[in-house]
Amino acid sequence: TTSIVATRYGRNVVAVDLNPRAVRFARFNAQLNGARDYEVRHGSLYEPVAGERYDVILANPPFVPSPEMGLAFRDGGVRGESILRQIVAGAPAHLTGSGRLCIVTDLVDITSYADKLRGWWGLTGMRALIASTADRDEVLFSVPHCHAPFGQSIERYNQELRRWVQNFRAAALEAVNFGYILVWRSAEDCQEIDMRVIHNPSQPMHHEVTDWRDQQARQARSDADEHYLCLHPNAQFSHAHAPGGGSSAYELSVPSSDFFTTYALSERVYTELCHIARVGPKLGDVVRQSGGWLERLLRIGVLRLEATRPIREAAPVAAAPDIVEQATKTTPTCLSSYLG
């Protein structure tokens, strides 16, 4: 499915799969959808494309840390990284000079992922973005994998749960996240990796990723200090406090984009951001600390640089009802999770 969707955005798409049945289905699906300049090859990882280079490599590998290897589409070894490691390690030899690698995967022990990625990628220059969602502990991770759709007894379920939890512990996993690895090959002799938390995507966010990359390039320019500092145009603040007063809580979010999450702020940072939003100062006129909050929000993309000072017009205030009862948001999950 991923490769067929890719034909909408690129030319000469080549898909690879180890499962002969998956290859036949992909070819049939391509004919059914009228996909052009599309080829499916049978084989393991990069073997069917030996010696070839591509502008983009897309991968949705078996990435689940699993106590078994019976389901080839799911099981990625006891730590879930057996296939993932090979895909990352082989990518530099199969990407063009400015090519990119895009992977959807579980992220095991997210805090160590920058070092992992550098080790797998090798010495080739790169710029990478690791986008994560939420950590799952041994129970939250194991439970969805222990349900069978039909005829499972409670004893069998408990047995499966123990097996998965034991694998989690034996592999010395701290947490399993879910997210995305985006790597751009670089001709420069450096390896820069950014890590960020995002919401579970409900819509395409490739435009936001492109905009983020453009902003990072602008911040690296020699004349960056002459650009104007501003908040993301769709950023919103929230301020919560108890009716009787006391301590306040401040949050920043970009509700229109899943590329961002919600950021808790100190009162000092909230006040500084309000000032930036009103004034739009030049970057060179702002007091900066290496690794401080301003640098971090620039890396995230909530703070941006613009060539001209943005002009903000006050939005009209529309009449609103006194009380609106909001509906809750649900997260879809596998039906088998509800079947005992």
Q: Which DSSP symbol is given to 165? A: H
Q: Please state, rounded to an integer, the average pLDDT across all residues of the chain.
A: 90
Q: Is the pLDDT of residue 102 over 70?
A: yes
As a 3-state breakdown, the chain gives helix, strand, coil percent values, each rounded to 5, of: 35, 25, 40
Q: How far apart are CA 147 and CA 36, in angstroms?
A: 39
Q: How far apart are CA 305 and CA 212, in angstroms?
A: 11
Tell me the average pLDDT across 39-43. Answer: 94
Q: Is the pLDDT of residue 19 over 50?
A: yes
Q: Regarding beta strands 245-253 and 263-265, do their DSSP bridges make them parallel or antiparallel, or are they unpaired? A: antiparallel
**pLDDT for the residue numbered 53:** 96
Q: Is the pLDDT of residue 299 over 70?
A: yes
**pLDDT for the residue numbered 338:** 46
**pLDDT for the residue numbered 333:** 54
Which residue has 């180890």 as its token pair? 18
